[in-house]
Amino acid sequence: MIFEKPPHCNANFTEQRVEIDQMALMLKALGHPVRLRIVQELANLEHCCCADMCECFTQSQSTISQHLSVLKEAGIVDFEKDANKSCYSLNHNALYNIQLVMGELLQLKNTEAKDG
């Protein structure tokens, strides 16, 4: 049986699937309070090493390192090895993309409310 895409569906669904999957990964990573706080701390800094970041938290260095790894895998933070230190910085493009997608969703919701 062959299913046809309903006319109300987005025509670029397959192309956008990867983008949607990446967006879901980023939002999931931001869904943990410690990771969200890490992002807030990094927003105030150009870059920061894991040991310095640990001074802002009560969790162990290994826990903070695991959270930073999740944020890195999601593309929210960038990682750079600097001599013996692991340096992290915010990926501002990723945060901007999250802002754009959330703005589009809010705009769609507002449009539906006005039309409905």
Question: For residues 76-110, b (16+ Cβ closer than 10 Å) or e, as one string?
Answer: bbbbeeeeeebbbebbeebbebeeeeeeeeeeeee
Residue 102 lies in a domain: yes
User: pLDDT tens across 22-68, in order?
Assistant: 889 999 999 999 999 999 999 998 889 888 888 989 999 999 999 99
User: pLDDT tens across 65-107, in order?
Assistant: 999 999 999 999 999 987 788 899 999 999 888 888 888 878 8
User: What's the predicted TM-score (pTM) here?
Assistant: 0.77
Task: Specify the CATH number for the domain of residue 56.
Answer: 1.10.10.10
Residue 5 lies in a domain: no
**Confidence label for 20 from pLDDT (cuts 50, 70 and 90):** confident
Q: Copy the structure tokens of residue 39.
A: 């992002």
Residue 61 lies in a domain: yes
Q: Copy the structure tokens of residue 53.
A: 């970041």
CA separation (Å) from 44 to 28, 47, 78, 95?
A: 22, 9, 15, 14
The C-alpha atoms of residue 78 and residue 57 are separated, in whole angstroms, by 20
> What's residue 110's pLDDT?
65
> What's residue 109's pLDDT?
63
Domain span at residue 80? 19-115
Residue 3 lies in a domain: no
**Confidence label for 21 from pLDDT (cuts 50, 70 and 90):** confident
